[in-house]
Structure formats: C-alpha cells, structure tokens
Structure 1
Amino acid sequence: MQGLATRLRRAESADGATSDGGDPRAPLWRGAQWFRALSVLYAVGRQIDEADRYRHVGWSWVMIGAVVVVSLVAGFGYVRGFGRHRWFVLAEFAVAAVLALGTVWVASPAFTAHNQTLPTTLWLTNPVVSAAILSGPVAGVIGGIVIAAINAIYRGTFPETILRDANYPVFMAVGLGIGVAARVAIRSQEQLREAERVAAEARARERLAREVHDGVLQALAFLARRCAALGGPGTELGALGELAAQQERALRRLIAETPGGTVEPGTAGDGDLVDLRELLRPLASSTVTLAEPGGAVTLPASTAAEVTAAVRNALENTLRHAGPGARSFLLLEDVGDAVLVTVRDDGAGIAPGRLDAARAEGRLGVAESIVGRMRELGGRAELTTGVDEGVEWELWIPRT
C-alpha cells in the first residue's frame, strides 16, 4: 500500500500537478489549451483564405485579432489556474457568442446562410470543453446546447436546425466526454489521497507498536508475572495481575489492528463477516471461562468489534468491583436472527440504585460502554444483579 501511494504521488508530481495546486484536472486543462491553439491556427488560416468574401474586411480582421487575444488570455488563465472559475468560463461563453453573432454584421446574408461563423465552429468548441472540465458532464452538455443555439441563431434557423445540424450533437458529445474524464480524474485523486492516508496511518501504527512494545507491554507483562507469583489466585494481588495480563492482551490486539477496522490485517473489512468466537477466545483466562457453540457465529467485522469491546468492559468491571476470587463466565449463543452473549460473574453484585447513583455522579462507564454500544447496534443490554448475587449481562445483537 505504501509503495503504491509513493508511486502514484511521484507520477502526479512528474505530471506537474503540484504546480497547479493539486488540481487533478490540470492535465486536462493543459491539453485543452493545445486544442485551443490548433483551433486558433485554423481560424486565422480560414480568415486569410476568405477575408475578401466579407462585407467589412477591416472589421473581420479586428474580430480575428480578438479571437487570438481572447484565446491567449483564456489559455494563460486556465494553465496558471486563475481562470478555473465559473465566472471565467461564463465570460468565455459570452465572448464566443459576441464574436459568432458579430459575423452577421461583417458578412452578407448569402455568406452566413452557407458558411460557418468567423471564429469557426472548431474555435467555438473551446468554451464547451472548459465548462466540461470545470463542472463535469452535465455542464458540458449544457454548454454544447448553448453553442449549438448560438450557431442556429447566427444562421437564422433557430430553433429548427438545433437538432438537425450534424455539428450540434458534436458539441454535446464533446462536453459529455470531457466532463466524464474530468470526474474520473477527481475520483482518481480522491483514491490516491485515501491510499496516502492509509499508508500514513499504517506507518504511525507501526511506530506506536514499537514504542508500546518497548515500554508499556513489557511493564504489563512484568506486573502480571510478579502479581501472580506474590499473590496467586483469589487474592487482591492476583486479581491485579490478571487485570494487567488482560490489558496486555488487549493492547497487543489494538496495535495489530488495521486503521479502518478491528480485525487482523488481511482478514476482513468493516462490512465483511467475522467469527465472533475468534474475538472472544483471547478474553478467556484462569478466571474467565468461555462457552461457545461448535459452529461459527458470524457478524459484520465492525459489529463484532463493538460486541467484543462491550464484553471486555464487563469483564474489567468484574475485576475491579466483584471482589477477590470472583470468576467470570462467558456464554456465546447463535439464536438465528440474533446473537446472544451472556457475561456472568459470581462476585459481590451491584446494590440497587448504584448504577443510577454512578450516572448522577458523572461516571457513565457501564452505561456508555455496554448499554450504549448495544443501542447503537440496534440491540439491547439486559442487566440482572443483586447484593452477593453476582452480575449478569445479556447482550442481544440482531442480525440485520
């Protein structure tokens, strides 16, 4: 992924995109100006060949000079970037209309009836191309219709010939094709930026993993071993060691996750199905017993990650509040249209009203981490508890 992003970035730089403010349509703008230059050469050559046929020869040269000047200004504006705005393109359409319809004044009716406008049909295609590059295929087709209408008005046959003249559909087809190319260029740059973002996140995650491994993970592993050696099961030190071990495993999973999901790299994305059993098995330990069905229990990756986080939070609450020696029991069930995860412990339980009091004090860990997660998934979390009766969470996750 990083190599792909680097190659794409180098190709973009070689193409000169950085000098155009990162505009993905920059190559189209530059190519359009080559087309504009050729259309100007054609218009000037035609003027040299047919100047004596105009009624006002001097004014025809003035108009062809305007074609050259306008083309230079427009070409410079589009290449440098300051002309890539709607008002600039509209001004180009206005100038094209004036020069096309101005042919009626410098030429005779007989000339206008059987000849193209003084700027030439080819040159009048330039504003259509500009509109398509700037605003996409719809704007390109509309621009083609506008230029077709201007030509029909010039011939005095509007609106009868706007769809019958062979040149007019060409205007619209050019606008459509160039507009689609511009949209593809924009989408390609968006994909490039996404690839660069993913590569940057991967590099940051790798750097974080190295730093965490050298410090936090080793400290947690040492704490877990020492607490187990000094306290053992059923003691407060033993519970602390178990908590450190669980946090070590959770942190190792976290730094192994991909930027956009919570599964191991290359296994699944957010919308792919994963086996919930695989995510719950690492939570099992000497004080946590997991019971699971024989077959896979599949959920979308993002949903499975949220369920696992809720279960982990319930187990952490047991370690903190259930008392020394408390054990936890996980039961995973596939009930067809839903998945049920039961998290139960044999600890001290929760006194009536304690959760409401914690919520009033601003401590919303259980409500937000368990109940809130289930609500966002369209499911529910049911709590059963009492003093000296342990705590039982039933997490219902619908399959939608």
Structure 2
Amino acid sequence: MTAPGPGLSTADMEQPLEPLWRGLMVYRVLTLISAIVVTLANLQSYASPAGAVGVLAVMATWTVLTGYVYFPSAATARDRRGRVALADAVVTAAVMATTPLVQTVAQINADAPVMGSIWTSGGVLACALAFGIPGGLGAAIATSVVLVAVQAEVVTELGDIQLLVLVGLTIGFASMVLRRSGDRLRRAIMHEAAMMERERLARAVHDGVLQVLGYVRRHGAELGGAAGELGKLAGEQEYALRSLLTTGPAPVDLNGRRDLAAALRMLGTSRISVSTPAHRVELPAHAADELVAVVGAALANVALHVGPEAPAWILLEEVTMDAGVHGVEISVRDAGPGIPAGRLDAAAGEGRLGVARSMRGRVHDLGGTIDCDTGPDRGTEWIIRLARQDRA
C-alpha cells in the first residue's frame, strides 16, 4: 500500500477515531480536575467528607486505567475499548449512585451537583465512540436513570438529561461517519496503489513477455500447422495477461464483497467477449465466486460442444426484478447449433449432472434463477438472474 496523501498519517487512515479518543481523554482529565476542585472546596458540607475523598480517588484511578486503553499510544489495548467503554458507563453510574451516601439531604434538596459532576458524562462519550449511535443513546439513557434516581427534583435535571442524550447521539453519529470515511479512504488508497502497481508491471511486462507472446502469435499464424496452434495459445495468454494488467483481479473488500464486473472481465479472451457496466457491481464474495463458476461452466460447455475456437459472449447488466427489487443478470451466449430438445433432461437421466449441479445447483443455492434459451441453428443462451439484497 502506498503512503497516505499529504496531511494524512497512517493512523488517520487505519484508526480514524483516534483524534476523538484523544479528545475524550483530555476531556476526562479536565472534568476530573473540575470535580476535584468543586468537591474539595465544599468538603466540610458533605455528610461524609472521607467518603467524598474516597469517591474522588476512585474517579482518579479509573481515569488512569481507562487512559491506558483509550489513549492511542496503547496500541495493544485498542481491541478492548468496547468492553472498557461498557465498564466505564457502569463505573460512572456507580459514582453517581454514591451521592445519597456522601451528600447531606440539604445538598440533594438544593440540587447540588451529584458525585462526579460532569466527569460522569465521559462514560456516555466512550460508549458513543465505541458503538456509535446505539451505544451513545443507551449509555445516555442509563446515566439519566441514575441521575433521576439520586436527585430529589426530577424537573431540574431535564436539561442535563437532554444534554446527555444529544451528546450521545452527536458523538455516536460522528463516530459512525468517521468509520465509514476511513473505510472509503482505505479502499481508495488500496485501489490507487493497485493501479500504480499494475502500471509498473505493465511497463515491465510489455517490454518482455507481451512482446514475445505477440511475436509467437504473429509468426505462428504465418507458419501454420503445429506452429499455428502454438501461436493461438500464445495469443490467448497475451490477451489474458493484458486483461490482468489493465483491469486487475477482483479482490475482496473490507466488507467481504467482490466486484462481479471485474471478476467476469478476467474471463475474456480473443474469442470470449465480455461486456459489463463501467462501475463496480458489488456482491458478497461467495455469491460473486459462485456466479463466475457458473459462467465458467457455461464457457466450458461451449468449448466442448461447439468447439474450442467457437466465440462466446458474456453480458452483465443491473436490472430491476419483480416488486422493484434490484438485481444482476448475466447472459452467456454462443453461436453454435443449439441444444436439442430434451437433451439436458436426458443427460441428467444418464447421470451426467454437470449442468444440473454445477450450474443450476449453484444458482438455486444463491436464491437466483437460471434459464436456457436454445434452438436449432440459433445457438444457446444461458440467462442467470440474482437479486441484490443490499439494494432496494
């Protein structure tokens, strides 16, 4: 992979939420200091000054412990952030729950800040960063319930509750957007790196392998006979190598999806024409692999029953199926004599299940349909249709 562009670090690309986690730790330390100052300034008015100091000690210790996990320098602890964020929400709720034990009734009736004060909102922020909107909203609701339980007047806490909910939703939404942006950035950089590598290889291969294959193809055709057959094989390999260098393979992305269009283009040769949309046609990798296997089986039938030099055409389209469901349609067509009526059923009855298992079985397992349009002297066309569950 190439280095990130100007202004981007590897951490920004691989861990797009790192700036927010750093901001959370700064916020946590500042709110801890604030809570300590406010509590110590009014320590004599507490019902249990020692208890208040103990709660502050727990808050300081927890801030240090979570800092080890949240702070980006702790690379080995990043995978534990989600679990620690949940524990963070529980600890902050426990700190708030000590309010009736530490404060006097007069303080509670006077709407004094609960134990932990604004420090306790850090648990909501952590859950929002770790789990997005569901985590932020859930932690905000849980914290609000504890807040209402320890305060005498519920109405006076409505503003704090609204603030907690808004913060959880906002930071949760921001974390989800940053994750998606990071994924798109990684894919873009990987695609750019692959294009640059293909260009480099294309220059190197063109100066050597492709020129040799082209020479063999041309002179083999001139000589004919066995040399002509060798020239045809060289031409096939030249075409396949050029396709690989210009379009590249169809890798699986971070979401486990593969570009079906790119995968089908790799089947193209001098006798097999492939037409696909210019944009990516993404499917789950397993579905894309199965469809490519079905197309490969259809091409094998063309070579076997029509001839190894028979031309074939592959067409991939995005279509709208029944009930407005979006899907893909693949057509594999040849110009052979066609399949005699009843031949496929007879072959299945004879135990030759290539078409039934390799083609129809694969498509039906995916939930798609496959039809054969054939007839005397008009060739054979296999039409494969599959709904895309990710699109409406």
TM-score, with structure 1 as normaliser: 0.65
Matched, 1:66 2:37: no
Matched, 1:397 2:377: no
- Change in Cα spacing, 1:77 to 1:282, as seen in structure 2 (3 Å) is closer
**Structure 1 residue 38: Cα displacement:** 1.7
Equivalent of residue 154 in structure 1, options 134, 150, 153 = 150
Aligned to 1:45: 37
CA distance in 2, matches of 1:14, 1:340: 46
CA distance in 2, matches of 1:238, 1:224: 8
Contact 1:103–1:117 (Cα < 8 Å) also in 2 = no
CA distance in 2, matches of 1:137, 1:67: 26
Contact 1:129–1:178 (Cα < 8 Å) also in 2 = yes
Equivalent of residue 130 in structure 2, options 129, 134, 137 = 134
Amino acid at match of 1:256: T
Equivalent of residue 228 in structure 1, options 221, 234, 243 = 221
Equivalent of residue 28 in structure 1, options 7, 15, 20 = 20
Contact 1:331–1:343 (Cα < 8 Å) also in 2 = no
Aligned to 1:13: 10
Amino acid at match of 2:211: Q
Aligned to 1:195: 188
Amino acid at match of 2:198: R
**Structure 1 residue 313: Cα displacement:** 5.9
Aligned to 2:239: 249
List runs of 5+ in structure 2 lacking aligned partners. 252-258, 282-287, 316-320, 322-328, 338-342, 387-392
Contact 1:243–1:316 (Cα < 8 Å) also in 2 = no
Contact 2:133–2:172 (Cα < 8 Å) also in 1 = yes
- Change in Cα spacing, 1:360 to 1:215, as seen in structure 2 (3 Å) is farther
Count of residues in correspondence between the two structures: 343
CA distance in 2, matches of 1:65, 1:340: 72
TM-score, with structure 2 as normaliser: 0.66
Matched, 1:170 2:168: no
Q: Secondary structure of the equivalent of 1:395?
A: strand
Aligned to 1:110: 106
Q: Secondary structure of the equivalent of 1:6?
A: coil
CA distance in 1, matches of 2:370, 2:192: 35
* Identity within the alignment, %: 25
Contact 1:314–1:343 (Cα < 8 Å) also in 2 = no
- Change in Cα spacing, 1:123 to 1:305, as seen in structure 2 (3 Å) is closer
**Structure 1 residue 300: Cα displacement:** 4.3
Aligned to 1:183: 176
Amino acid at match of 2:202: A
Q: How does 1:263-278 map to 2 (within 5 A)?
A: none
Asked which structure has the greater CA Rg, the reply is: 1
CA distance in 1, matches of 2:312, 2:55: 85
- Change in Cα spacing, 1:256 to 1:373, as seen in structure 2 (3 Å) is farther
Contact 2:134–2:172 (Cα < 8 Å) also in 1 = yes
Aligned to 2:326: none
Contact 1:148–1:168 (Cα < 8 Å) also in 2 = yes
**Structure 1 residue 188: Cα displacement:** 2.3
CA RMSD of aligned residues (A): 5.0
CA distance in 2, matches of 1:6, 1:332: 38
Contact 1:379–1:397 (Cα < 8 Å) also in 2 = yes
Q: Deviations over 1:167-226 (max 9, x none)?
A: 111111111111112222222222232223323433443354345434443333222233
- Change in Cα spacing, 1:102 to 1:250, as seen in structure 2 (3 Å) is closer
